[in-house]
Amino acid sequence: TPIGPCLFIMREKDANLPASEQVTTNIGSGPFKFNEALARPGASFTYDCNEKYVPRKEPSDGLAGGKVVKVDRVVWENIRDKQTALAALQAGEIDYFEEPSVDLLSVIESDPGLVLEVLNKSGYDMYLRMNCLQKPFDNVKARQAMLYLIDQEAFMRAAIGNPEYFKTVTSWFGNGTPYTNDENTGWFKKGGDPEKAKQLFKEAGYSGEKVVILQPT
């Protein structure tokens, strides 16, 4: 499925509908037109080139710039299982798919007929967020202790494997954004230090109380 930040402009009469009422009319003025006749909800959606669309004059740049259409039709196939999507790609049934699972990266790299390309240079940031209103994490030293307790690189090697596809980060704003910075992190050394974590937890007044970890799936 295509993903990305979108601003959906609605007609006034659609925008004024009650929140409980579904908008059923497909409209748009972009480079593609939704082909309702070929729609197969849950299976695929088809978009045809909008011959009346006039792109902006500047060159394309990701989600910005001129949207120049070079194909007559795009079919988005809904293939939920990544292994099935890879099999379809290898069989020539589809042209590409997004976000292959980690275990498939080496398979794709070893196939001379396929190309694995990183388009999202910022990647996806993983967070362990502490409840700063509850003990022990209402104390800044307990929060700092967590940084020492967790070896980011070890976690990522276990989760991702190939270091080409991950990197550690100390910036609260993640990697690859205009806000990314390592200001005020000189006290922190990457790699994990359990003894330092114990010291900071002790200074924070933590004495072994249970901590609840929530992992939504």
Distance from C-alpha of 40 to C-alpha of 18, rounded to nearest angstrom: 27
Same domain, residue pair 156 and 191: yes
Give the least confident one: 6-10, 60-64, 147-151, 188-192: 188-192
pLDDT attached to residue 183: 81
Whether 214 and 134 share a structural domain: yes
pLDDT tens, residue by residue, 128-154 = 889 999 999 999 999 989 888 888 888
pLDDT at 96 over 90: yes
| pLDDT higher than 80, residue 156 | yes
Please identify, among 117, 136, 167, the residue that sits at the C-terminal boundary of a domain.
117
Q: Which domain holds residue 216?
A: 125-217
Same structural domain for residues 43 and 58?
Answer: yes
Whether 24 and 89 map to the same domain: the answer is no
Q: Is residue 70 domain-shared with residue 87, that is, in the same domain?
A: no
Please report the pLDDT score of residue 39 as a whole number: 93
Which residues, 6+ apart, have CB-to-CB distance to 143 below 8 Å? 130, 132, 137
Over residues 100-127, mean pLDDT: 88
pTM of the model: 0.69
pLDDT band at 91 (very low <50, low <70, confident <90, very high): very high
The answer to whether residues 210 and 131 belong to one domain is yes
Q: Are residues 185 and 205 in the same domain?
A: yes
**Burial readout 8-18 (b: 16 or more C-beta within 10 A, e: otherwise):** eeeeeeeeeee
Reported as a pLDDT band with limits 50, 70 and 90, residue 5 is low
**Residue in the structure block whose two tokens are 């398979």:** 107
* Same domain, residue pair 23 and 1: yes
Could you tell me if 87 and 163 lie in one domain? no
What does the alpha-carbon distance between residue 121 and residue 125 come to, in Å, rounded to a whole number? 12
Q: Are residues 191 and 142 in the same domain?
A: yes
Q: Are residues 96 and 9 in the same domain?
A: no
How many structural domains does the chain have?
3
Asked whether residue 164 falls in the same domain as residue 201, the answer is yes
Which of the listed residues 78, 108, 135 is the one where a domain comes to its end?
78
Does 1 score more than 80 pLDDT? no
